Amino acid sequence: MKPALCLGAMGALVMDSSPQCTKQLLSERFGRGSRTVDLELELQIELLRETKRKYESVLQLGRALTAHLYSLLQTQHALGDAFADLSQKSPELQEEFGYNAETQKLLCKNGETLLGAVNFFVSSINTLVTKTMEDTLMTVKQYEAARLEYDAYRTDLEELSLGPRDAGTRGRLESAQATFQAHRDKYEKLRGDVAIKLKFLEENKIKVMHKQLLLFHNAVSAYFAGNQKQLEQTLQQFNIKLRPPGAEKPSWLEEQ
């Protein structure tokens, strides 16, 4: 028979369905149980959850910006074609329609370059949020489950230690001591794993965001300044390659 799943602290999944764990879970829910707390680590975990929520918001806004840019490009392309067509059919306004068509063509080219930069930015944030941060939070959930189990068997051992001593209870006490020690080792190992992952995650986040924020700033600034050369140099600096026109691959928008 498979062990039942129950929800532990902060939504962690607890695979141990023993009476001790169930009792500990209910005691904590009603504010009566004794709970092991690592204040420094729990503050770091809560900060990670808050950071993830904020980055998810940035990711959502970045995707919205990508969609708007794509829509703008489609409109500019259609407008440029319309101007070019009218330039051929309106001799008295040929020049005016002509340079407006060229302007829209240039805007499209710069817009495609900006879209490539924004897409790269969004893709990198998506990886950071849905893979790197999520991987760390999965280890956090395992740690929280192990903490609940550790406290459950610790409480069980303490209660047995305070009870009467006879041949039967001595055997149960030894068994409880061995079970407690196994869960204590598991808890301490996962606590160390979480601390290490949080440290590496913070270092990786800073490295990734330093690069992505610089890319985003340089690309947006160059686009709105109309600096085509700087815009192209920005993509080269970050090794971003645009697809050639007509390439049989999903659009930047479809990749999202």
Instruction: Tell me whether residue 162 is in a domain.
Output: yes
H or E element, residue 6: strand 6-7
The CATH code of the domain that includes 76 is: 1.20.1270.60
Domain range enclosing 85:
59-233
* Separation of alpha carbons 192 and 190, rounded Å: 5
Dihedral angle of Cα 203, 209, 215, 217, to the nearest 10 degrees: -130
Instruction: Tell me whether residue 41 is in a domain.
Output: no
Instruction: Tell me whether residue 3 is in a domain.
Output: no
What digits encode the pLDDT tens for the residues 22-54? 777 777 777 777 788 899 999 999 999 999 999
Specify the amino acid at residue 160: L
Region 137-146: mean pLDDT is 95
Per the rule left: phi > 0, alpha: psi between -120 and 50, beta: everything else, 11 is: left
Region 67-85: mean pLDDT is 95
Instruction: Tell me whether residue 239 is in a domain.
Output: no
Overall pTM > 0.85: no
Number of domains in the chain: 1
Instruction: Tell me whether residue 2 is in a domain.
Output: no
* Separation of alpha carbons 127 and 155, rounded Å: 41
* Separation of alpha carbons 213 and 54, rounded Å: 15
Of the pLDDT bands very low, low, confident and very high (cuts 50, 70, 90), residue 254 is very low
Instruction: Tell me whether residue 21 is in a domain.
Output: no
Q: 26: Cβ–Cβ under 8 A, 6 or more apart, which residues?
A: 33
* Backbone φ, ψ for residue 7 (5° rounding): -85, 125
| Total Cβ atoms within 10 A of residue 195 | 15
Instruction: Tell me whether residue 242 is in a domain.
Output: no
Question: What secondary structure letter does DSSP report for 110?
Answer: H
pLDDT, residue 244, reads: 56
The mean pLDDT of the chain is 85
Closest CA to 191 of 144, 151, 154: 144
- For 152, half-sphere exposure in the C-beta direction (CA atoms, 13 angstrom radius) is 24
Using only the alpha carbons of the chain, give its radius of gyration. 29
Instruction: Tell me whether residue 24 is in a domain.
Output: no
What digits encode the pLDDT tens for the residues 196-206? 999 999 999 99
Region 113-127: mean pLDDT is 95
